Chain A
Amino acid sequence: MIAVEEISLTRGDFSFAGISLQVPESSYTVLMGPSGAGKTLLLESIGGFLPVTGGRILVAGRDVTMLPPEKRGIGFMYQDYSLFPHLTVEENIAYGLKMKGIASCERTSTVKTLLSSFSLHTLASRHTGSLSGGEKQRVALARALATRPSALLLDEPFAALDPEARLSCMDEVKAIQKEHGLTILQVSHDRDEAYRLADQVVVMDNGRILQKGTPAAVFSYPVHPTVAALAGFENMLEGTSGSSEGGRTRLSIGTGTIIADRMVPAGDRVFACIRSRDITLAGADISQSEQVNRIDGQVISMVATEHGCQVRFAGPFPLLIDIPGDRSLQDCQLGDHVVALVAPADVHLIHLPKNTGEGGNAP
Chain B
Amino acid sequence: MRKPALPDEILLRIQQPARYIGGEINMCVKDPKSVDIRFAMCFPDVYDIGMSHLGIQILYEMFNRREDVYCERVYSPWTDLDAIMKKERIPLFALESQDPVREFDFLGITLQYEMCYTNILQILELSGIPFHAADRTWEDPIVIGGGPCAYNPEPIADFFDLFYIGEGETVYFDLLDAYKESRRLGESRTIFLKRAARISGIYVPSLYDVSYHADGTLKSFTPNCPEAPAKVQKQLVMDMAGSFYPEKPLVPFIKVTQDRIVLEIMRGCIRGCRFCQAGMVYRPVREKNVDELKHLAYQMLKNTGHEEISLSSLSSSDYRSLEELVSFLIETFHGKGVNVSLPSLRIDAFSLDVMSKVQDVKKSSLTFAPEAGSQRLRNVINKGLSEDDILNGATEAFKGGWNRVKLYFMLGLPTETIEDMEGIALLSEKIAAAYYDLPKESRNGRVQVVASTSFFIPKPFTPFQWAKMCTKDEFLERARVVNQKMKEMRNHKSLKYNWHEADVSVLEGVLARGDRRVAAVIEEAYRNGALYDAWSESFRNEVWMEAFRTCGVSPEFYTTRERSLDELLPWDFIDTGVTKEFLKREWQNALEEKVTKNCREQCAGCGIRRFGGGVCYEDPN
Genuine A/B complex: no
| Residues of B that sit less than 8 Å from A by CB | none
| Residues of A that sit less than 8 Å from B by CB | none
